[in-house]
Structure 1
Amino acid sequence: MKCRFGKGLGDSLGKTLAGWGVAGLVLALPLLAQAGPAPIPPGAVLAVMHNVEVPDQDEEAELQDGVTATFWYGQELDVDGKHYYATFVWHTRDSAARQGEDFAAPEVQVRLADATFELTHPGQTPAYSIRSIERKIGFFGGREKPEEVDSKRQAVEHRTADGRLLLAVPTATFDNGVVTKGYTMLLFNPNKKPEDDGWVWSYLGQVRTGEDNSAACDEGAVMPCIGSDGELSFVAGQGPLPQVQVKVSGTTFQGPGKIRSLAAADNLTYVYDSKSQQYTSQELASRQP
């Protein structure tokens, strides 16, 4: 179900979030958004972020100019004694950008935004305040779709020495009969002040960990079947952000019509590239001037 662009700020959110103890919204002030420590419903997140009327359990809202906002992921986090609920929403292009298209090209990405809530009044109603709303922290995905969250795996966290948190969200995206497994890398800076550069949340790219072509290989009748996965870990590097190491297992192609088992030599290392502000494979990074 899509929800049309809402009415006035106080009217729409007062009705949409009434069940969460919010009578109105003033973005310049801390906002109370939820009546307990459980995650805030997707519809309430969309309502707060975009001033739309959305039923609590709806995950999609239609905005002005044909843009669609869709709830992507939510994660509860504990950092320096504070409890947060971080949520992420992806957005399509507007109607003008899609005019004349029958389908989106592979290189067309979606815009990623975040809304982060902090538990400021535990045991009270409401209990959460808005820490930040950022309507563009990066672009990702393809064919105007996001990376698909893999609910079978858990997110992985790493806390840096300077008080930030690196969050790796597991993904498993299907395209042309192949599932590509990996993680979306996101960086949380809970101590960011309004005058500081950067964002509270930053998108740091994708880390690939494996693939599975079982949907395309037809049990070996069309091509050899392969399947691989990787165990992700963080290792301190030379900069403030760690290296990401992937210990791989499974099978991969060795040549036309042949497969082989993955070994230690196939393990992957990703490093943070300050120029692109994303994680990239160490092999690619070493080739850059």
Structure 2
Amino acid sequence: MSELKPPSPDSVLYFIYQRDGDGAVSYKVDGGATVSYWYGHAFDLGGKHYFTGFGAKSEGEGPEGDDGMMEDPEHVAISQATFTRVEKDGKVEWSKPDTDGYVGEFGRMGRPEQIDDSRKAQSFTIGDGRYLLAVPTRDFVNGTEVGMFSLLLFDPGSVDKLGFRQWGYLGSIPVSDDNSDACDGGQVMPCVASTGTLTFEQVGEGLPRLKVSSQGTTIASPGKVRDMTAADDVVYSFDETSERYSK
């Protein structure tokens, strides 16, 4: 796979939005909306090698900047371009991508969820040919840094009946937190920090359960801190009504 480089971020954005950013990975388009490259992921599934580049698009300044599907103006619309490695005339190259300008929305304040480069993406191949991707992200809320995984599902064979096409966003789940910026050395509140691991649990058919096991400290009661144990493990299951993972 090393002989074929991933498509460049600017080419991913061009394929999705059909606007030339002159090599930029974030730029404005019609209506004042901003499009930007978010994340790239190479993977193998069903004997094929894929690369998906994800983009994000803000709502913009007016109706022409909105694709008509945004549910929350503080969010951004997630988009994707998925390339397949093919052989043509004896040369290995990327196919023309499958693209989708809307596979869900996330983030806040008009910005996508921030990639956490300190952790690696995780994935799980489902027996029915679908592929679940967990992208490491992070947020900073009220002085607490929260580590998360943003969940995206690839369904090339249209196995499920969910309300999206090849890719869909299934929500984000927290796996760690650190309130050191807010606790002021314990003067404002108890200082706690935890780190979690994500495991996939296949139970029957369909999408797997997600188990988050955490180590570290948590607030036990007002002013009290305790060590986390296996009793603090959290299991998330997929809810078909909301099309999201939840406790």
Normalised TM-score (structure 1):
0.76
Q: Select the structure that is richer in strand.
A: 2
Match of 2:5 in 1: 38
The one of 211, 214, 218 aligned to 1:248: 214
Within 5 Å, give how 1:2-81 maps onto structure 2: 37-56=4-23, 58-81=24-47
1:71-150 paired onto structure 2 within 5 Å: 71-96=37-62, 108-121=74-87, 127-150=93-116
Query: What do the CA deviations read for 1:109-150 (whole angstroms, capped 9, x no partner)?
Result: 111111111111389667101341011111111222221111
Larger of the two Rg values belongs to structure: 1
Identity value in percent: 34
Q: Please, which runs of 5 or more residues in structure 2 have no aligned partner?
A: 64-71
Deviation at 1:75, TM superposition (A): 0.4
Equivalent residue pairs, number: 235
Please give the per-residue CA displacement for 1:153-193, whole angstroms capped at 9, x wherever unaligned. Answer: 11111000101111111111123321111101111112349
In structure 1, C-alpha distance between the alignment counterparts of 2:53 and 2:37, rounded to whole Å: 8
The equivalent of 2:144 in structure 1 is 178
Unaligned segments of structure 1, at least 5 residues:
1-35, 98-105, 282-289
Q: Which residue of 1 aligns with 2:67?
A: none
Structure 1 residue ranges, 4+ long, deviating more than 3 angstroms after superposition? 122-126
1-side partners of 2:8 and 2:60: how far apart?
25
DSSP 3-state at the match of 1:95 = coil
Secondary structure, aligned partner of 1:37:
coil
- State the TM-score, normalized to the length of structure 2: 0.88
In 2, Cα distance between equivalents of 1:208 and 1:109: 18
Structure 1 counterpart of 2:79, which letter? A
What is the CA RMSD across the aligned residues, in angstroms?
A: 2.2
Change (3 A) 1:125 1:48: farther
Give the Cα separation in 1 of the matches to 2:45 and 2:238.
Answer: 22
Q: Distance between the aligned counterparts of 2:204 and 2:53, measured in 1?
A: 30
Aligned to 1:261: 227
The aligned residue for residue 29 of structure 1 is none
How many Å apart are 1:197 and its aligned residue?
A: 7.1
Cα-to-partner distance string for 1:51-101 (whole Å, 9 max, x where unaligned): 222244x3202110000011110000111111111111111112027xxxx
